[in-house]
Amino acid sequence: MIEKLPSYVKQLKEIDNKLSSPETMSDMNLYKQLMVDRAHIAPIVEEMQNLEELTNQIKDAEELLKEEDDAEMIAMAKEELLELKEAAKVSNKKCKMLLIPPDPLAGKNIIMEIRAGTGGDEAALFCADLFKMYSHYAEKMGWKIDIMNSNDTGLGGYKEIVFSISGKDVYGSLRWESGVHRVQRVPTTESGGRVHTSAVTVAVLPEAEETDIEIKQEDLKIDVMRAGGPGGQCVNTTDSAVRLTHLPTGLVVICQDEKSQLKNKNKAMRVLRSRLYDLEEEKKQKERSEARKSQVGSGDRSERIRTYNFPQNRLTDHRLNLTLYKLEIILSGELDEVIEALKVEAGEKAMQEA
């Protein structure tokens, strides 16, 4: 590991030299890319230097043991050597983790789509529960949520809800939420007290910038219409809802939550752009079969990833074999323990391949 240190020190110096040049300061795209590269390499250099220092201290301690004949000093040297070797082991693991190339999508904002699956009204109610859970977590993290489109049941549930989350490291934290979320609980309308099983699907799309993907105007079919949903809302009185159809792929996006047709069209474009971007990324991942091994789970949205069991107050993540008996707390937005476990699992898998 330490043998690689001179190469990374050289890279860091080259980046710093480029960052201080006038040419870089006039090119914001280049400047941003260099800063991303520096943010990846600087911690590697720092940790490798720490590992080098620990390795030198271990050598010194081993030399001292050979020369020392005082029993008390030998005992102290052995204890210090054990501590140094343990610290070097931890540092070596940190270096390996840091050497994993950063995910270029990790810093992106996301568009999340939650849809009711099997279970009728109960699945729709759980859609609302998951939306609240992610909303509370976003609030805790200082992220911003913007609802793009929703189709509520009028009973407090959603057939589907699509929303964006923007902030720091959103995709890097929530990317593993894609998949089938299964809920087991007694419906409020069930007099017999029987536990029902329902399912909800979640899709997490990295939000695409306009520069990430081009959508040609001739590839779009745009329809405007009255917004649906429960009556009595002012959105139902004008043709404000927008439906975009991307002709080459057949993708359809409807946005109707805003009163303004233009705002709905802009939101629909954001969703469409992100879905097309996600298709491109999925295609690349299939081509790079090695990269797919580092995913937690298959990444397939039809994969059952988690069970929420209300009678037992239990959450089980099937990819990690992780079971926590604090479902109520997790649904209030306390997702850190689950998300951190998923990050560690992904990091360890990537480290094995590095």
Q: What is the pLDDT of residue 352?
A: 66
- Regarding pTM above 0.85, the answer is no
Residue type, 242: V
Helix (H) or strand (E) holding 224: strand 220-225
Q: What is the pLDDT of residue 338?
A: 94
Q: Which residues of the chain have pLDDT under 70?
A: 1, 189, 191-192, 211, 228-238, 284-302, 350-354
pLDDT of residue 290: 46
For 323-335, the pLDDT digits (tens) are 999 999 999 999 9
pLDDT at 48: 93
- For residue 130, the model assigns a pLDDT of 97
DSSP SS3 for 241 = strand
Residue 139: count other Cβ atoms within 10 Å of its Cβ: 12
C-alpha to C-alpha distance for 110 and 99, rounded to whole angstroms? 26
pLDDT, residue 113, reads: 93
pLDDT value, residue 42:
93
As beta bridge partners, residue 245 has 221, 252
Residue 194: the pLDDT is 85
Which residue stretches of 246-305 are H helix?
A: 261-287, 289-292
Hey, what are 238's tokens?
A: 């004008």
Predicted pLDDT of residue 303 = 78
pLDDT of the residue at 238: 64
Q: What is the pLDDT of residue 351?
A: 63
Percent helix, strand, coil in the chain (nearest 5)? Answer: 50, 20, 30
**Predicted pLDDT at 187:** 83
The residue behind tokens 């999340």 is 112
Residues 220 and 244: beta-carbon distance below 8 Å: yes
Q: How far apart are CA 160 and CA 150, in angstroms?
A: 6
pLDDT score at 354: 54
pLDDT of residue 10: 93
Element (H, E) at 130: helix 120-141
User: Which CATH code is given to the segment(s) 110-353?
Assistant: 3.30.70.1660
The predicted structure's pLDDT at residue 228: 66
Domains of the chain by residue range = 2-99, 110-353
